[in-house]
A and B are shown apart, each in its own frame.
Chain A
Amino acid sequence: MTNKTDQEPNAAGAPKDARPIKLACRNVWKLFGSNAASFIRERDGKASMADVTAAGLVGAVRAVDLEIRQGEIFIIMGLSGSGKSTLVRCMSRLVEPTHGKVEFEGKDLLKISDAALIELRRHRMGMVFQNFALLPHLNVLENIAFPLSIQGQDRPTREARAREVIELVGLRGREHFYPRELSGGQQQRVGIARSLATKPEIWFLDEPFSALDPLIRREMQDELMRLQTMLHKTIVFITHDFDEAIRLADRIAIMKDGEVIQIGTPEELVVNPATDYVAEFTRDVDRAKVISARSLMRACDGSEHGGTIAPDAKIASFSAGIVAANKPFAVVNGTGKPIGEVTPQAVIDLLAGIDRSRAGA
């Protein structure tokens, strides 16, 4: 049922990620209802949806296994009620999981003391909230400096740091405004700045742009990408918007009814959806922007090439060129060695939405 494409050499043949694992969930469960803990313990961490329902429990998060690597943008995508918010709260231990392990750099987060947890959250975790969660009685500067003041930093130090991040998110001149005086986009910039003030290593973003208008949302997504190219945080990003997920993600985990039903790069999800549910999401995606040359290439058959492309190049980036040239393009790896070719016909098929390989299979 669960298809973890990232563990096996995947269909598209992308190189395996060698970055260290920052955060991992090992068979994490969150059940609501009486005796939830003993229910799952007795079953040794294994239970079906039917079992859970029969016991009168609600399975908010069920049997989640995933690994998030350092520096990646990991997106948890699901519709409302799919358990994505509960899952991210299990990862930060805002919600105590009923069963399983959450490992932060290999250490079980659920076993550490309260003091250690506070220390961890103060210095190594940051979180941004859907409705901003700004403190109404503090102005922008004080809001952003708040996590630092909690740690006991003195006023000049924390305000200097707060001004740095204000600069970073482009809010200069608004330091003395109160949250109510700002637009939604500005408020979320404050939320982002506040979560960055402590220089966290892992950054949880819980539907950060869902409360914003579409145009502002797009602007904020670009802003996030800009920040990430500078900061290289490990990002866990929650969204219900598949287009947003595709735009931002290194990898996406799709959740339904508390379960992770597929984890993979956007391309893997589009090319190889594990279930009809995933396929439903990917159906309207602009495939040319997601699928790379590697997925479309075949072995060279000796015909003349009209150009060369990298295996990771998205189809959209060379589709116009290849159709105009009307010749196959060679796919070359880092050393310039050809590893295959992409034909104009394959690109046209893709753009037209004709799926020959599927039809054949």
Chain B
Amino acid sequence: MTVTASASEARPRPIQVWLLIWAFALAAVLVVFLLQDRLPWAVNYPASAVVPVADWVSALMRWIKSNLSWLTRSITAVLGVPLDFALNLLAKNFKIGHGADAYVLPRLSWVGVCAAAFLAGHAVGGRKLGLLVGGCFLYIALFGQWTSAMLTLALISIAVPFCIVTGLFAGIWAWRKPWAERLIVSPALDLMQTIPTFAYLIPMLLLFGNSPVSAMIATAIFATPPMVRATMLGLSRVPSEIDDFSEMAGCTARQKLWRVLLPSARPTLMIGVNQVIMLALNMVIIASMIGAGGLGYDVLLALRALKVGEAMEAGLAIVALAIALDRLSQAIAHSQAKGHVHQEMSPSLWRRYPNLTLAIAILVATTLLGLFVPAFAAVPKAITFTTAPLWKAAVNWVTINFFDTIEAFRVALILNVLNPLRAFCEGFPWLGAVFLLGLAGYQLSGLRLAILVAALTTFCAVTGLWEKTMATVYLCGISAFIACLIGIPIGLMASRSDRFEKIVTPVIDTLQVLPSFCFIIPVVMLFRVGDVTAMIATIAFAVVPAIRYTNHGIRQVPPALIEAAKVSGCTPRQTFFRVQLPLALPEIMLGVNQTILMALAMIIICAMVGTRDLGQEVFIALSKADSGRGIVAGLAIAFIGIVADRLFSAWTAKARARLG
């Protein structure tokens, strides 16, 4: 009795101690801030002490470039072969010979590709999916985006298998060797996923030149991590009994892996494949800056020329392609997860794969027809239509009628919210930030996390990027904050009403598959370039996880607990606030964490619309091909993400542990 009593009394004290510590720490930072005339080095990192990491990286890249050009050239040559084949097959036609008398083999007919898309959808998801996928392709064709879209598709179709194979083997390796997972694979994956997409482009540009191959390599690097994770997860989730069975059946290690474990893990692997495809699409769009061409390039050109209508049209084509690819690969993953259904074995290939054979037949027939009937080879101008003028008119109408309102909103936001916050963040003493973040790390997890967090923060300061780092933090922070402010209530509502959830789910599913690029286009039409545009685009992009995780977190509270609450006489409101919300809190925190990471990724891309932060730094480096500057800024961005991620994960883990 006495023991439990004293334990429960002792319980609240550590929290009070931490409160005191935090109050003291904040006071100390405030003192430093106020004394900034006396201690300028603690507020603004002295320029004389900046460590020239960027120069070192540049030197290293120069050395690699001059000494390993034989390697990069041969990689370009080898990867160029399948890539050229895919590009020719889908978009460009094969040319055999040179000059005027070259013999031209036509690319696949657009009619055939649309039909094949329909059949693929039909095969894995029934007629509805077939119509959706076929319709998306038809949309692309009719809106005159066919060649660009096929360029994009060709790049994806070569990059994705590459990602899947690499990811599979890396995942198997990490699963087999725990030390490799801990020391190499996990940190590498974290870094690969938090370094902003732009930062990949710079070294690729330097090593492989401005070409589709370098775009493809950047895409492959960016899109591989989910496959590695899916492989590791899938293999570790195979029931131990299946593992035991394979041993008892006398499988050799190889038989066990390839014939038992990997097939058993197939549903999880297919989810990985879906993510690879979507990330590859996202990256191919961004990689248009270094020569990928395709839809992303169209958007980029149109945005630069402020041709809103054209940008919107190409953007919508990206959306159509994204939806088609996502639904198709998800349906495949889903049918894998649902398991097979028995059917009698049919001896002939044609009978066993009727859709596949039909698709090939149609492709061949229409392509051959294209030799004689031009309408099959290229989408005839007569049947395409463009909505660009329509979009332009719409934007004009909005600007004419609502210019004052929008402008007033924009200016008010900048003057009253954004600028003061920005000033506060940029003036924040770097030493104070290192100290406070380290303290948070220590409280949440211990000395190791504290050191990691403090070291990563220090890196941002000593490389002379403190002000830009804080500019990024401010924009990312406020966007993520507003995204949570919007997303969490929506998630809560969705969790309480099935009907509302049915409306929300398709919307967030669609938002999630859209490449980040697409979010900028409509916002830039209304708000022009600047921080407000970046903020709004980022909120739209990052709101999804806040909604999804909140909804899921509330819904996964065990029904037995809710029944228990009801039986104890809780009102619905009490049930919600006393039972569901506390139990869902770790899951909601996870959503907030994801929101922050997505906001960070998006903020960087928003450098295209004129923000002044680390993204701009990378963007400038990209245009100057200054690899050192770009990579260091990229690392700083990645470190912001890692610090936020680690602190939030530690917090979530702690909350989880408390709930048991």
Contact = CB atoms under 8 A, between A and B. Distances in A.
B251 interface: yes
A133 B266 contact: no
Interface stretch (A6-14, A121-129, A274-282, A325-333): A121-129
Contacts of A118: 250-252
A133 B244 contact: yes
B259 interface: yes
A121 B247 contact: yes
Interface string B331-373: 0000000111111110000000000000000000000000000
B40 interface: no
A121 B249 contact: yes
Contacts of B244: 89, 94, 127, 129, 133
A111 interface: no
Interface string A157-194: 00000000000000000001111110000000000000
Given A89-B244, A136-B264, A150-B259, A122 B250 contact: yes
A301 B56 CA distance: 107
Nearest to A178: B340
Interface string A249-266: 000000000000000000
A92 B340 CA distance: 32
Nearest to A118: B250
A172 to B, nearest CB: 14
B241 A181 contact: no
Nearest to B242: A133
Nearest to A92: B248
B384 interface: no
A120 to B, nearest CB: 8
Nearest to B256: A150
B342 A150 contact: no
Contact of B264 (A94, A129, A137): A137
Interface in B251-278: 251-252, 255, 259-260, 263-264, 266
B342 A147 contact: no
Interface in A214-247: none
Contacts of B241: 129-133
B249 A146 contact: yes
A135 interface: yes
Contacts of B260: 135
B239 interface: yes
B245 interface: yes
B247 A94 contact: yes
B250 A139 contact: no
A119 B339 CA distance: 32
A151 interface: yes
A71 B252 CA distance: 29
Interface in B383-429: none
Contacts of A89: 244
A121 B249 CA distance: 6
B264 A178 contact: no
A177 B341 CA distance: 7
B342 A181 contact: yes
B249 A122 contact: yes
Contact of A150 (B239, B255, B340, B341): B255
B228 to A, nearest CB: 22
Nearest to B340: A178
B259 to A, nearest CB: 7
Given A150-B259, A176-B344, A181-B342, A133 B250 contact: no
A138 B242 CA distance: 13
Nearest to B336: A137
Contacts of B343: 176
B265 to A, nearest CB: 10
B333 to A, nearest CB: 14
B341 A178 contact: yes
A90 to B, nearest CB: 12
B248 A178 contact: no
Given A133-B241, A133-B242, A176-B344, A147 B264 contact: no
A89 B244 CA distance: 9
A129 B255 contact: no
A121 B250 contact: yes
Interface string B224-249: 00000000000000010110110111
Contacts of A176: 342-345
A176 B249 CA distance: 21
Nearest to A191: B245
Contacts of A137: 263-264, 266, 340
Given A178-B341, A181-B341, A135 B263 contact: yes
A230 to B, nearest CB: 22
Contact of B245 (A123, A133, A181, A198): A133
Nearest to B247: A94
B334 to A, nearest CB: 14
Nearest to B250: A122
B247 A139 contact: no
Contacts of A135: 242, 260, 263-264
Contacts of B242: 133, 135
B115 to A, nearest CB: 30
Interface in A289-317: none
Interface string B464-499: 000000000000000000000000000000000000
A121 B339 contact: no
Contact of B340 (A125, A127, A130, A139): A139
Contacts of B248: 92, 94, 121, 125-127, 195, 204
Contacts of B263: 135-138
A119 B249 CA distance: 9
A151 B250 CA distance: 8
A181 B338 CA distance: 10
Interface in A87-144: 89, 92, 94, 118-123, 125-127, 129-133, 135-139
A133 B249 CA distance: 12
Interface in B611-626: none
A142 to B, nearest CB: 10
A126 B249 CA distance: 7
A147 B339 contact: no
A147 to B, nearest CB: 4
B646 to A, nearest CB: 28
Contact of B250 (A94, A136, A150, A204): A150
Contact of B239 (A123, A133, A177): A133
Given A118-B252, A137-B266, A180 B339 contact: yes
Contact of A129 (B245, B250, B259, B339): B245
B342 A131 contact: no
Please provide the 3 A-B residue pairs with the shortest distance between their CB atoms, ordered closest to farther. Answer: A122-B250, A133-B241, A180-B339
25 contacts: A94-B247, A118-B250, A118-B252, A120-B250, A121-B248, A123-B250, A127-B244, A127-B245, A131-B239, A133-B241, A133-B242, A133-B245, A135-B263, A136-B263, A137-B263, A137-B340, A139-B340, A139-B342, A146-B249, A150-B259, A177-B342, A178-B341, A180-B340, A181-B341, A195-B248
Given A135-B242, A137-B264, A178-B339, 5 more contacts: A121-B248, A122-B249, A151-B250, A176-B342, A177-B342
